Amino acid sequence: MSEENMNSTTVDHEYGADEIQILEGLEAVRKRPGMYIGTTASRGLHHLVYEIVDNSVDEALAGFCDTIEVVINEGNSVTVTDNGRGIPVGINHKAGIPAVEVVFTILHAGGKFGGGGYKVSGGLHGVGASVVNALSSWLEVEIYQEGKIYKQRYERGHVCYPLKEVGTCEAGKTGTKITFLPDDTIFTETTVFDFDVLKRRLREMAFLTKGLRIILKDERKEEIAADNENEQINELLRRAEADEKGGSSDPVPVENSVKKPRIMEFYYEGGIKQFVAYLNKSKTPLYENILYFEGEKNKVYVEVAFQHNDSYNESVFSFVNNINTPEGGTHLIGFRNAITKTFNDYARNTKLLKDSEPNLTGEDIREGLTAIISVKIEDPQFEGQTKQKLGNSEARGAVDSIVSEQLTYFLEMNPAVAKSICEKSILAQRAREAARKARDLTRRKTALDGLSLPGKLADCSDRDPHNCEIYIVEGDSAGGSAKTARSRATQAILPLRGKILNVEKARLDKIYANAEIKAMITAFGTGIHEDFDISKLRYDKIILMTDADVDGAHISTLLLTFIFRFMPDLIKEGHVYLAKPPLYKLEKNKKVWYAYSDEELDEILKEVGRDQNNKIQRYKGLGEMDAEQLWETTMDPERRILLRVNYDKEMESELDLTFTTLMGDKVEPRRDFIVENAKYVKNLDINSL
C-alpha cells in the first residue's frame, strides 16, 4: 500500500485491549509459518525434512546413532528413521503428558536447552519437531525402546490419540521413526519433494558427521528418463566427448525409460577430508595430501581440512554443530589468522620470501584454497536471528591454536608441499599488485578525465537507485534496439561485445584488464572483491538479457560466474535477474501472440487453431526483434518476465562446485553434469549447439 493510500484509509473500530490476540499451542506457527521456516515455497518445504533429520544427527553427534534413513513415499509424505535412543516416552512432570507429546506439540521444548540431553546440537533453536508437526496435514511418530513400540498421531498439530503401545520389537532395538505429510493449505506453491535437493543437503550432513550413514530413498517410482529426452542426452554426450577427444564420437547409449525407486547412500569415514576431495573433484589439486587437523581446546572441538588447487578462487566453508555459517564468524577468523601467520613464518624462515619483500596477505595464501572448518561447541552464540555468523570468542582461539600448531609441524615435515603453496601465494601476490596498479590507474583517469562511466553505457536519467535498472545486453545490434526501446528515465543499457572473460580461469590482474568486465564494474558502482560496497550500487535491478539459445545461455553463465565470484552480495540481496525473451511470434489475421516456451505455443495454437494462415517465427536472437517488439516482450515492466537469481546460503558448497564444474578446465566433471541434468532441459535447440 502506498503512503498516499495509507493516509486516506479509515479505521472502522478502536484499537483496544481485546484486539490483542493470544495464539494457543501451535497456532502461531500455522498463522505465520515464514517466521519459523523462512518461506512456504519449495525451500521451506524441504526445510521440514532437514529439521527432522537434524534431530537424528544430534543423536549421532551425541554418540547414540549411526544410521539415518529418509524415504520419500508415494503421495509425497516423508519418513525419517534413526537408530538413536528414541524420544523419551515417560511423563514429563512439568507438562503432565508424555515427553514425546511435549516435543511435538509445544514450542521451545526439547532436550537442547541445557538439560543434559545433548552436549552439542544444531536444529532450529529446538523447535524443529513441533514446527514440522504444525505445518503437516498429519504426522505419525513411532518410538522403539525396551522391546516395545510406541506410537502417536497428530493432525495439523493436534493430538489424535494418547501415546500408546502398539507392538513389540527386538529387546536391543532403539530409535525413532517419523512420517509426515506437508499441509497443502500452507505449502500452496508445491508439496512435491525434489530428490536432488534432498540428496545435496543429506550428502553435506554425512560429510560433516564422519561415520554416520544416511540413506535416501525415493519410493515414488517416477520415470527417470523419457524416450524423447534420450535423444537429446545422447547428442549432448556425443558433443561433450568430441570436445574431450578433439574429434567426433558415436552417441553414447542411455538407459531407456524405466520405473524404479531411487536409492542413494552417504557414508564418509574420512568426514570433512572427503568433503574437500568432493569439492575439488572438478579442479586439479596443487599437491596430493589433504591437510587435516583436529583437536579440542576450551571445550571447543575443532576439525579443519584443506587443500590448494590450481584455480584462482577461494572456496572456504565453515560450520558450527553441522550448521552452515555463510557469514563466517570467530571460527573462520581463527583459521585465517592461523594460516596467514604460519605460512608467512615458514616463507621467511626458508627464504622463500626475501627480507625486502612484503608479507603475503591472507588472500594470497588462500588463492585456490578449498577448506572446511567445522567446530562443535556446547553453547553456540550466533549474531542475528539467522545463525549465519558465529560469535563465540573461545572458538577463535581454539581454531587458531590448533591449526597453527599442527600446520607448523606439517610444513616442517613436508617441505615440497610447503614450497608449492608458498610459490603459488607469491605469484598471487604479484598478480594482486598488478591488479592494484591497474585499479589505481583507472581511478586516476576517472578523477582527471571525468570519465566516470563507460562510453557505451546509455544511462538512465533518474538518480534514485531504487527506481533504476540496468540491462546487460549481448551484442551491439540488440543493444541498439534496447536503447531505442527502453524507458530512458529508469532503464540503462550496457551492450557487451561477445563472450566476456571466464573469471574461473583468470587471476585478478587479468580480470581488471578486461574491457567488458571493467565497463560492468564501473557501471554498477560497487567495486569488486575487497573493494565491494553494496551501498554504492547504482541500480536496484541488474538484468542479464541474452539470446534464447545455447550461446546466450553460455554468456549468461559467464556473467553469473563473474558476479558470483566477485560480487556475490548482489545475488544474495536479490538484485540480479535474467530477462526471458520470447521463443516464438505467431501472427494471424493481423493479431500477434508471443510464446515463451513450446508448451505456451501449443496452448496458443489450441486457442487460435492450427491452419495455413498461421505465421510462426522462431526467434534465434534478440537482434531479430525491432525496438517495439523488444519493449513489448522483454522490457516493459507491465508485461515482461524476469527470473530472479536466488542464492541458497544453505547450499553454498554445492553452488561453488557447480560453477567450478561448468566453467573450470576439467571436461569429465562437466560431462557427468550433463548426464545428470540433461533430463531437465526443455526447448533444447540441438542445431545451435
- Per-10-residue mean pLDDT for the chain, 689 residues long? 38 51 71 87 93 93 94 96 94 90 82 56 63 96 96 96 95 96 95 94 95 95 46 48 46 47 93 96 92 96 96 93 91 97 96 91 95 94 76 96 97 96 94 80 50 79 95 88 94 89 88 89 89 93 90 89 94 94 89 89 88 84 88 94 87 86 77 64 41
What's the distance, CA 345 to chain centroid?
Answer: 36
Question: Of residues 229, 474, 504, 652, which has the active-site annotation?
Answer: 474
Q: In the structure grid, which three cell numbers stand for residue 3, read together?
A: 503512503
- Which residues are CB-contacts of 61 (< 8 A; sequence separation ≥ 6)? 118, 119, 120, 121, 209, 321, 322, 376
Q: What is the pLDDT of residue 231?
A: 46
Question: Of 382, 405, 433, which residue is a domain's last?
Answer: 433
User: What is the rounded distance in angstroms from the CA atom of residue 146 to the CA atom of residue 174?
Assistant: 7
- Which residues are CB-contacts of 638 (< 8 A; sequence separation ≥ 6)? none
- When computed from its CA atoms, the radius of gyration of the chain, rounded to whole angstroms, is 28
User: What is the rounded distance in angstroms from the CA atom of residue 330 to the CA atom of residue 399?
Assistant: 9
Number of structural domains (the chain) is 3
Both 205 and 242 in a single domain?
no
Q: What is the pLDDT of residue 453?
A: 76
Question: Of residues 82, 364, 400, 547, which has the active-site annotation?
Answer: 547
- Going along 575-629, which residue ranges are E strands? 576-579, 584-588, 591-595, 615-618
User: What is the rounded distance in angstroms from the CA atom of residue 479 to the CA atom of residue 458?
Assistant: 10
User: Pick from 279, 382, 395: which is nearest to 336 by CA?
Assistant: 395
Both 43 and 100 in a single domain?
yes
Q: In the structure grid, which three cell numbers stand for residue 360, read together?
A: 603475503
Annotated active-site residue 547? The verdict is: yes
Count of residues in the chain: 689
Structural domain range at position 57: 27-218
User: What is the rounded distance in angstroms from the CA atom of residue 238 to the CA atom of residue 253?
Assistant: 10
Q: Is 451 left (phi over 0), alpha (psi -120 to 50) or beta?
A: beta
pTM for this entry: 0.80
Both 196 and 236 in a single domain?
no
Both 55 and 100 in a single domain?
yes
Residue 632: inside a domain: no
User: What is the rounded distance in angstroms from the CA atom of residue 273 to the CA atom of residue 210?
Assistant: 10
Q: What is the pLDDT of residue 680?
A: 54
Phi, psi values for residue 104, rounded to 5°? -95, -10
Residue 519: inside a domain: no
Residue 402: inside a domain: yes
According to the 3-state scheme, what is the secondary structure of 252-302? CCCCCCCECCEEEEEECCCCHHHHHHHHCCCCCECCCCCEEEEEEECCEEE
Residue 12: inside a domain: no
Q: What is the pLDDT of residue 649?
A: 78
Question: Of 407, 433, 459, which residue is a domain's last?
Answer: 433
Question: Of 377, 410, 433, which residue is a domain's last?
Answer: 433
Both 297 and 202 in a single domain?
no
Both 423 and 329 in a single domain?
yes
Question: Which residue, chain included where needed, has cell 535477474?
Answer: 577
Question: Of residues 549, 632, 652, 656, which has the active-site annotation?
Answer: 549
Residue 499: inside a domain: no
Annotated active-site residue 551? The verdict is: yes
Both 214 and 233 in a single domain?
no
Contact criterion met (CB below 8 Å) for 452 and 521 = no
Both 295 and 250 in a single domain?
no
Both 252 and 188 in a single domain?
no
Question: Of residues 551, 569, 624, 650, which has the active-site annotation?
Answer: 551
Both 179 and 231 in a single domain?
no
Residue 163: inside a domain: yes
User: What is the rounded distance in angstroms from the CA atom of residue 561 to the CA atom of residue 505?
Assistant: 11
Contact criterion met (CB below 8 Å) for 305 and 371 = yes
